[in-house]
Amino acid sequence: MNNEVKQTQVNGINLHVVETNKYKTNTIVLHIKSPLVKETVTNRALLPYILQNGTERFPSRQEIRSYLDELYGATLSVDVGKKGENQILSFRMDVSNENFLRDKSPLLEEAIKLLADIILRPSLEAGVFKPQVVENEKRNLKQQIQSIFDDKLRYANMRVTEEMCKDEPYGLNVWGYEAEIDEITREALYEQYTTMLKNDSFDLFVVGDVNNDEINQMVQNHFTFDNDRKPNSVQNDRQPKTDIVKENVVFEEQDVKQGKLHIGFRTNTTFNDDDYFAMQMFNGIFGGFSHSKLFINVREKASLAYYASSRYESHKGILMVMSGIEFSKYDQAVSIIKEQLESMQNGDFTDQEIAQTKAVLKNQLLETIDVAKGHVELLYHNSIASKSRSINDWLTGIENVNKEEIVKVAEKIQLDTIYFLKGKEE
């Protein structure tokens, strides 16, 4: 098993290469990071979608797509995400390893070259992005934003975050705001793009049956920036711990059949902290798995829900609980969930629950790195945080957590916001 990661700096890009022969394809991921800012969030969300619409060599979206098909169906997808208080623009490619094909023409360098073209050599008109492309992608982004409303689970998740982090960058929607889209000009977008090239942090990952030296050479040759890059290391300030005086309770009504209960907690523990592993253990015992307290008590014992789970966002230090319930079961569900937190704080969990959770957390980690894109996401945590943890650090970190440490992190957790999406009163 070879999970070693080779890291270098090439042309101002942090390059991460994982050499492994377990896949039949090679994976390339580029993450571009900058702090979440209200004024630029919508513009930036448009950029990856615009960039995939044409390069100097392949001036239209259709020509790029045809070329990808030629490369034995190489895939290219773009995305916008949130990690802590950062907005991440992502470009992901996956290309067959020609060793498994009858046709042995090399594919990987072509893919890297295409990605570099997409980022650095976009197709332009009068020095800015093409009008038709910008119009199409504005329309697309509007529908993307609306689709959150249409998926009630995602909607409730966005709303609880918004309500909980009203005055913090983390409360911003990474897709931006529909009302701002029409006003965006091509010039403003192009300016945003040049700022991105100059100031944002670039992390490029290549995973597969590859050679690190060759990859370094390819990146050196193809990712050529016109000017020196000066990645901005500015981070949004970490908010000092504030005591939550009163729970914030928000009810919203829509024409739906199932209530969506989302509860946001402040854990006051992040990826950079020493008690990070204890927090992972807390989340595992509390709500991360199907042996966890939330699943057992909300679903199995009380039959209130099909799902009841918790998720820990480690860079911001927020824990979200979510469950889909009948409207009339709100009080019962909230009180069961609160009881589970109290029982964690009181140390009311067994050595067996601890052992179980360690086993599944370790299993989850090892399974994650079996998937190339999973491995990349795991490695990217280190780039986001100011702390670097290897797979082995992670495995030992989990193994060494004891009960007292879990109780300690549990005691730091505070309920901040309860959000409930329910049906309209008849």
Partner 1 sequence: MGKIIFEQLNETLYHETLENGLEVYILPKQGFNKTYATFTTKYGSVDNHFVPIGEKEALKVPDGIAHFLEHKMFEDEEGDVFQLFSKQGASANAFTSFTRTAYLFSSTSEVEKNLHTLLDFVQHPYFTEESVEKEKGIIGQEITMYDDNPDWRVYFGVIENMYENHPVKIDIAGTVASIDKITKDLLYTCYETFYHPKNMVLFVVGALEPDPIIKLIKENQGKKTFKEMGDIKRIFDSEPFEVAKKKEVLRMSVHTPKCLVGFKEKNPNRQGSELLKHELAINTLLDIMLGQSSNNYEQLYNEGLIDNSFSFDYSAELGFGFSIIGGDTKKPDQLVASLEKLIESFVNTPLDKKVVDRAIKKKIGAFMRSLNSPEFIANQFTRYQFNEMNLFDVIETLEELTIDELEQKMKEHFDPKLFTVCQVLPK
Beta bridge partners of 25: 96
Give yes or no for a contact between 274 and 229, defined as CB atoms under 8 angstroms apart. no
The footprint of partner 1 on residues 21-80 (CB under 8 A) is 21-25, 49, 60-62, 65-66, 68-75
The pair of structure tokens assigned to 357 is 């959770």
Burial class (CB in 10 A: 0-12, 13-18, 19+), 226: exposed
Contact with partner 1 (CB under 8 A) among 104, 230, 246, 257: 257
Please state, in angstroms and rounded to a whole number, the distance separating the CA atoms of residues 406 and 43: 42
Torsion (CA) 150, 177, 317, 332 in degrees, nearest 10: -40
**Pure H helices in 266-414:** 276-283, 293-294, 330-345, 351-368, 372-384, 391-399, 403-412
Give the number of other Cβ atoms within 10 Å of residue 313's Cβ.
Answer: 18
Q: Which is nearer to partner 1, 68 or 415 (CB)?
A: 68
Give yes or no for a contact between 322 and 153, defined as CB atoms under 8 angstroms apart. yes
Contact with partner 1 (CB under 8 A) among 4, 105, 132, 335: 132
Residue 242 CB, nearest distance to partner 1 (Å)? 35
Contact with partner 1 (CB under 8 A) among 325, 376, 401, 413: 325
Q: Which is nearer to partner 1, 202 or 349 (CB)?
A: 349
Q: Total residues at the site for partner 1 (CB under 8 A)?
A: 76
Q: Smallest Cα–Cα separation from 305: which of 278, 287, 281, 282? A: 287
Beta bridge partners of 253: 422
Q: What is the largest CA-CA distance in the chain?
A: 67
Q: Which is nearer to partner 1, 91 or 265 (CB)?
A: 91
The footprint of partner 1 on residues 295-324 (CB under 8 A) is 295-296, 299-300, 303-307, 324
Binding mask 332-371 for partner 1 (x = CB under 8 A): --------------------x--xxx-xx-xxx-xx-xxx
Q: Which is nearer to partner 1, 150 or 404 (CB)?
A: 150
Binding mask 225-254 for partner 1 (x = CB under 8 A): -----------------------------x
Q: Which is nearer to partner 1, 73 or 347 (CB)?
A: 73
Task: Spell out where 42-96 has E strands.
Answer: 75-83, 86-96
Residue 375 CB, nearest distance to partner 1 (Å)? 11
Please state, in angstroms and rounded to a whole number, the distance separating the CA atoms of residues 344 and 407: 6
The footprint of partner 1 on residues 208-227 (CB under 8 A) is none
DSSP class of residue 284 equals: I
Q: Which is nearer to partner 1, 1 or 234 (CB)?
A: 1
Give the phi and the psi of residue 366 in degrees, each rounded to 5.
-65, -35
Q: Which is nearer to partner 1, 90 or 270 (CB)?
A: 90
Stretch that binds partner 1, among 112-120, 136-144, 264-272, 411-419 (CB under 8 A): 136-144
Please state, in angstroms and rounded to a whole number, the distance separating the CA atoms of residues 277 and 257: 38
Binding mask 137-156 for partner 1 (x = CB under 8 A): --xx--xx-xx-xxxx----
Residue with tokens 């022969």: 21
- Per CB under 8 A, 286 contacts partner 1: no
- Per DSSP, the three-state class of 419 is strand
The footprint of partner 1 on residues 77-96 (CB under 8 A) is 94-96
Residue 144 CB, nearest distance to partner 1 (Å)? 7
Please state, in angstroms and rounded to a whole number, the distance separating the CA atoms of residues 375 and 194: 30
Q: Which is nearer to partner 1, 249 or 359 (CB)?
A: 359
Q: Which is nearer to partner 1, 2 or 9 (CB)?
A: 2
Residue 298 CB, nearest distance to partner 1 (Å)? 10
Q: Which is nearer to partner 1, 132 or 402 (CB)?
A: 132
CA atoms within 13 A on the CB side of 125: 11
The footprint of partner 1 on residues 364-403 (CB under 8 A) is 364, 366-367, 369-372
- Per CB under 8 A, 2 contacts partner 1: yes
Beta bridge partners of 75: 94
Residue 317 CB, nearest distance to partner 1 (Å)? 25
Q: Which is nearer to partner 1, 23 or 225 (CB)?
A: 23
- Per CB under 8 A, 328 contacts partner 1: no
Q: Smallest Cα–Cα separation from 239: which of 316, 160, 313, 172? A: 316
Residue 205 CB, nearest distance to partner 1 (Å)? 16
